[in-house]
Amino acid sequence: SQQGEEDPQALSIQEGENATMNCSYKTSINNLQWYRQNSGRGLVHLILIRSNEREKHSGRLRVTLDTSKKSSSLLITASRAADTASYFCATALNTGGFKTIFGAGTRLFVKA
């Protein structure tokens, strides 16, 4: 079963609005990552938050992590049409090793 599950599956907003996507996971993690995928392209790493961090910022991105609830959120502020893409959370497990487990993604559509 999926380690990470994103919510909502799809999100449609107007340009300038904020977009919030959530991710839940099941097992203990070392870190959690968010990726972006434009249609038909490879994924691009956006931001990583370690298990001992609660919040992290990068430009218009804000990521929070609540390890007690096993959940994370990605906030994109002042969205732009160019932010239209699928966003995936991924977890690096605390058991070590080399695997990163991806969720099913949230499809974000930003209307101009």
Partner 1 sequence: SQTIHQWPATLVQPVGSPLSLECTVEGTSNPNLYWYRQAAGRGLQLLFYSVGIGQISSEVPQNLSASRPQDRQFILSSKKLLLSDSGFYLCANRGVGGHNEQFFGPGTRLTVL
By CB atoms closer than 10 A (0-12, 13-18, 19+), residue 91 is buried
Cβ(10)–Cβ(61) below 8 Å: no
Question: Which 45-104 residues touch partner 1, going by CB under 8 A?
Answer: 45, 48, 50, 88, 90, 92, 98-104
Q: How near is the Cβ of 6 to partner 1 at its closest, in Å?
A: 8
Residue range at the interface with partner 1 (CB under 8 A); choices 13-21, 36-44, 60-68, 75-83: 36-44
Residue 95 has which token pair? Answer: 């058991």
Q: How near is the Cβ of 59 to partner 1 at its closest, in Å?
A: 17
Binding of residue 105 to partner 1 (CB under 8 A):
yes
Binding of residue 36 to partner 1 (CB under 8 A):
no
Cβ(94)–Cβ(29) below 8 Å: yes
